[in-house]
Structure 1
Amino acid sequence: MGECFQTLNLTNAYLFAAALQDEEICRNVLEIALNKRISRVKAHVEQVLFLDSEFKSVRFDVYASDEEEVSYDVEMQNDDTKNLPKRCRYYQAELDVTSLRPGEDYQQLKPGYIIFICSFDPFGKGRCQYVFEEYCKEADIPLGDETQKIFFNTNGTDTENVTPELLHLFEYLKQSTEEVAVRHQDEKILKIHERVKYLKRDRKLEAGYMTMEEYIHQEAERRAKLMAESMAESMAESMAESMAKSMAESMAESMAASRVAQNILALLEDLGTLPDQTKERIAKEQNEDVLSAWLKLAARADSIEEFQSKM
């Protein structure tokens, strides 16, 4: 089961994207990350449920542009999918296609930054940031295409080479609490924290997170079911095919029901202490329709008593 919404840190891609939909917060994060003044940005979030072939990630891209016509693509990355360099190439192409109108000269292409904030070291050198530009190998001449690919490692060790404000942002991303927010009295970090607190009070946003988590787990269960059925088919020579498929379906349904029940309990934890009898009833329920109804009820309820009275 995914994390409880109320305990999420800003390294969570869903919460990060929601926070940066606020253009002031987006500007603050970009200013800290790039260590430069940005007067104003326009931001929008491309929330794409991007499931790769091995079911590793969900993509939440934050696209922004400033008054100087610079484009930014920012993404929080927690899983080392080993494909970030090629994804940078693809994302830069997306930015370029959208910034150049038909008939315009190539000189009209906006400068662009592709930014990954990683909770791991993408290149294994221990650095807090890796900045890539296009250069000539032989003469060390910059290509001048005005693009940068930047990878931040929130666990980097070369702290003397980055700004204190960036290190504070790294701290806050990993532990998005009041204590960390006020530690250095950085105005930008305090504004980001206020936004995070506001978002965590939004029950619709919380329900959206739980729905996304449920979908991801259901998709995982679906794939597990397909795998189990495939195994069952290969066992058909030594076992009755109908028995094998029945076992696979039963296992998959049980796992799916358990996952939804855990999501319901996670939502209800925010409302107070749930009686053991109610917990047991939720945990034992196997009917998908009943569990789905309870999940929606838990997302809307304002108290444990309200949930119990309506379940």
Structure 2
Amino acid sequence: MGESFQKLNLTNAYLFAAAMQDEEICRNVLEIALNKRISRVKAHVEQVLFLDSEFKSVRFDVYASDEEEVSYDVEMQNDDTKNLPKRCRYYQAELDVTSLRPGEDYQQLKPGYIIFICSFDPFGKGRCQYVFEEYCKEADIPLGDETQKIFFNTNGTDTENVTPELLHLFEYLKQSTEEVAVRHQDEKILKIHERVKYLKRDRKLEAGYMTMEEYIHQEAERRAKLMAESMAESMAESMAESMAKSMAESMAESMAASRVAQNILALLEDLGTLPDQTKERIAKEQNEDVLSAWLKIAARADSIEEFQSKM
């Protein structure tokens, strides 16, 4: 079961993308990350949901541009997918295609930054940041294509080589609490925290997170069902095929129902103490339509009593 929405830290890609849609917050994060003044940005978030072999990858790209016509692509990355360099290449191509109008000269291409904020060390050197630019190998001449690929490692150890403000941001990303936000009295971090507190009170945003989590788990259960059915087919030589498939489907359906029930209980934990009788009723329910309806009620309810009256 996914983490409770109220307990998410800003390293969570969903919450990070929601916060970065606020253009002032986006500007503050970019200023801290790049250690430069940015006058104003326009930001939007593009969500791409995809599942890897372990059913756990969700990508939220934050696209931004500033008044100097610089483009930024920022992504929070928690899983080491081993493909970040090639993804940088693809993302840069996306930025270039969208920034150059038909008939314009290549000189009109905007400068671009591809930025990954990683909760792991993408290159294993212990650094807080890795900045890549195009250079000539023989003469150390910059290519001058005005692009950078930057990887931040929130657990880096060379802290003397980065700004204190960046370290404060790393600290807050990993533990997005009031205590950490006020610890250094950093104006930008405090503004980010105020936005995070506001977002965590947004029930629609919370419902969207739970829906996303449910989708991921349902997809995992669907794949598990396919695997179980495949196993059942191989067992058909020694047992009746219909019996094997029935067992696989029953097992998968039970797992799916249990997952939704856990999501409901996680939502209700934030509203108060749930009576044992209601907990038991939710846990025993196997009808997927009923559970889906209860999940929606739980996401919108403001109290345990309201949930119980509507369920």
**TM-score, length-normalised on structure 1?**
0.99
Q: In structure 1, how many angstroms separate the alpha carbons of the residues matched to 2:238 and 2:131? A: 57
Contact 2:56/2:216 (CA < 8 Å) preserved in 1?
no
CA positional deviation for 1:246:
0.8
CA positional deviation for 1:52:
3.6
Name the SS for the 1:258 alignment partner. Answer: helix
Q: What is the CA deviation profile of residues 138-172 of structure 1, one whole-angstrom value per residue up to 9, with x for unaligned ones?
A: 11111111100000000000000000000000000
Matches within 5 A, 1:43-54: 43-52=43-52
**TM-score, length-normalised on structure 2?**
0.99
CA positional deviation for 1:13:
0.2
CA positional deviation for 1:243:
1.2
CA positional deviation for 1:240:
1.3
CA positional deviation for 1:48:
1.6
Q: What is the CA deviation profile of residues 73-121 of structure 1, one whole-angstrom value per residue up to 9, with x for unaligned ones?
A: 0000000011111110110000000000011000000000000000000
CA positional deviation for 1:56:
3.7
Q: In structure 1, how many angstroms separate the alpha carbons of the residues matched to 2:76 and 2:253? A: 32
Name the SS for the 2:73 alignment partner. Answer: strand
Q: What is the CA deviation profile of residues 40-75 of structure 1, one whole-angstrom value per residue up to 9, with x for unaligned ones?
A: 000000012122455341010000000000000000
Name the SS for the 1:101 alignment partner. Answer: coil
Q: In structure 2, how many angstroms separate the alpha carbons of the residues matched to 1:47 and 1:18? A: 11
Contact 1:257/1:291 (CA < 8 Å) preserved in 2?
yes
Name the SS for the 1:39 alignment partner. Answer: coil
Q: In structure 1, how many angstroms separate the alpha carbons of the residues matched to 2:79 and 2:246? A: 34
Matches within 5 A, 1:127-276: 127-276=127-276
CA positional deviation for 1:135:
0.9
Q: What is the CA deviation profile of residues 258-296 of structure 1, one whole-angstrom value per residue up to 9, with x for unaligned ones?
A: 110011001111110001111111011100011011001
Contact 2:121/2:156 (CA < 8 Å) preserved in 1?
yes
Q: In structure 2, how many angstroms separate the alpha carbons of the residues matched to 1:170 and 1:214? A: 29
Name the SS for the 1:236 alignment partner. Answer: helix
Note the residue ranges of structure 2 that are not aligned, 5 or more in a row: none
Contact 1:11/1:173 (CA < 8 Å) preserved in 2?
yes
Q: In structure 1, how many angstroms separate the alpha carbons of the residues matched to 2:143 and 2:278? A: 65
Q: In structure 2, how many angstroms separate the alpha carbons of the residues matched to 1:102 and 1:54? A: 41
Contact 2:121/2:127 (CA < 8 Å) preserved in 1?
yes
Contact 1:10/1:176 (CA < 8 Å) preserved in 2?
yes
Contact 1:56/1:81 (CA < 8 Å) preserved in 2?
no
Aligned CA distance change for structure 1 residues 172 and 254 (closer, same or farther; 3 Å): same
CA positional deviation for 1:231:
1.2
Q: What is the CA deviation profile of residues 224-271 of structure 1, one whole-angstrom value per residue up to 9, with x for unaligned ones?
A: 111111111112112211111111111110110011001100111111
Note the residue ranges of structure 1 that are not aligned, 5 or more in a row: none
Q: In structure 1, how many angstroms separate the alpha carbons of the residues matched to 2:132 and 2:253? A: 47
Name the SS for the 2:237 alignment partner. Answer: coil
Contact 1:203/1:299 (CA < 8 Å) preserved in 2?
yes
CA positional deviation for 1:309:
1.5
Name the SS for the 1:136 alignment partner. Answer: coil
Q: In structure 1, how many angstroms separate the alpha carbons of the residues matched to 2:302 and 2:155? A: 38
Name the SS for the 1:150 alignment partner. Answer: strand
Q: In structure 2, how many angstroms separate the alpha carbons of the residues matched to 1:53 and 1:106? A: 39
